[in-house]
Amino acid sequence: MARLFGTDGIRGVAGEDLTAEFALRLGRAVGFLMDERRWERKVLIGCDTRISSPMLEWALGAGLMSMGVEVYSLGIVPTPVVAFLTRHLGFPLGCVISASHNPIEDNGIKFFDRRGMKLDDSLEDYIEELLALDENSIPVVTGTQIGRRHEAATAVDEYVRYLAEIGQDRWDGFTIVLDAAFGAASIIAPSVYTLLQATVIPLNCKPDGSRINVKCGATDPRALQQKVLEVSADMGIAFDGDADRAILVDEEGKIVDGDQILAMWGLHLLRKEMLPGKVVVGTLLSNKGLELALEREGGILHRSPVGDKYVLRDMLAKGAKIGGEQSGHIIFLDHLSTGDGILTGIMVALLMRETRKPLSALASQMTKFPQVQLNIDVRDKRAALENQKVKEELDLIAAEIEKMKGRLLVRPSGTESVIRVMTEAPDEAQARALAERAINVFREFSDSGKVTEI
């Protein structure tokens, strides 16, 4: 059976893969786990704006309450709010109903432990084992032992105050355009930046699950780029549906991604001799330009597997204080234990104010290598990757690209029957040609032959 938990919780099409019945069973399994481990029986839950989120929240909550767990609902909040409050308020477990940047029809369920960190793989595996048991194997409670549901929306004020303190002083004269992608940050992000006295221009800042991530936000910041230029803003910030990541737009209307944010903050801390071990943690997808920019200042890029939970794991192992992904998940470990798009915007704005440099100048410290990412549908990911002919062809391509000081990365998707190919080279045409050669190696393993570009 395929693993339910991917790199960011359980995801699928709501009503098809993620049904109310499944959420109920999951709640019962997690409640049994909490009882078995003798954790305090209370769970904090938040969700994004998707139409299916209330269905899954209430079904999951019913399963938890049937096991005697008290459920505290935050309502619509970004993922990092749940992570922060789980730790800050002393909950043994937090849960988010969200599929992040995925399409409208998708949804997901992910958990945080008492440290505000995503669950270890071993704990997720155990939950899957419990889900595989016969339903009668997990007894429910009755009478006054049944858990209750509590409204906890006012707790979000703690998070807002915390971020405002990090923001330090008033940002008079600083103009920010916010694209909340009709998602979880629609209300809270404008509130935070307004509290800091910035001039805030909202874009797609309505909690509308029928439009979440549609031609907007971190997955499509074109409207944000236009708005930043139109109003002469200092910066634009595009969130995804659950606001655990952000893509920025500089004052010239150019996109600033997660690798560039890691570069500007990593270099700043290196120069101040405040970067532990001189290490920044990225992923296998982090641009070669980030690695070279850090090396020029004596820094080191450590590459973790893709997924912010693995970035955090390696940050803790390396003693690093900053890490993240090209997609905009940035972890500032001095402040929070998970990626937070709102915090990322604050930290970049603080750096702009401290250095008195515009965002374009900070981002230009890193020269990006052209990068091409292609996906192809396959029947069997494992069979395709273990085929001897495939291995030999990929070795030849890898040797060729290494001569150019570039990179080839081939990996299976964690959630789909897809092989992902990424190439980097000094020249975009070379990177694309090599990516297409690598993807063609897998065509005989694909029924549809469908290739998509990220």
> DSSP letters of 261-294?
HHHHHHHHHHHTT-SGGGEEEEETTS-HHHHHHH
Cβ–Cβ < 8 Å for 95, 53: no
* Whole-number Å distance between alpha carbons of 73 and 156: 11
**Catalytic hit among 52, 66, 100, 337:** 100
**SS3 category, 432:** helix
Q: Which helix (H) or strand (E) holds 371?
A: strand 371-377
Q: Is 69 exposed, middle or buried (0-12, 13-18, 19+ CB in 10 A)?
A: buried
CA distance 400 to 382: 25
Could you confirm whether 137 is annotated as catalytic? no
Burial label, 360 (beta-carbon count in 10 A; 0-12, 13-18, 19+): middle
| Exposure on the CB side of residue 143, measured as CA atoms within 13 A | 1
Exposure string of 405-440, with b = 16+ CB inside 10 Å and e = fewer, is ebbbbbbebbbeebbbbbbbbeeeebbbebbebbbe
The answer to whether the beta carbons of residues 45 and 61 sit under 8 Å apart is: yes
Q: What are phi and psi of 54, to 5 degrees?
A: -60, -40
Catalytic residue positions, numbered: 100
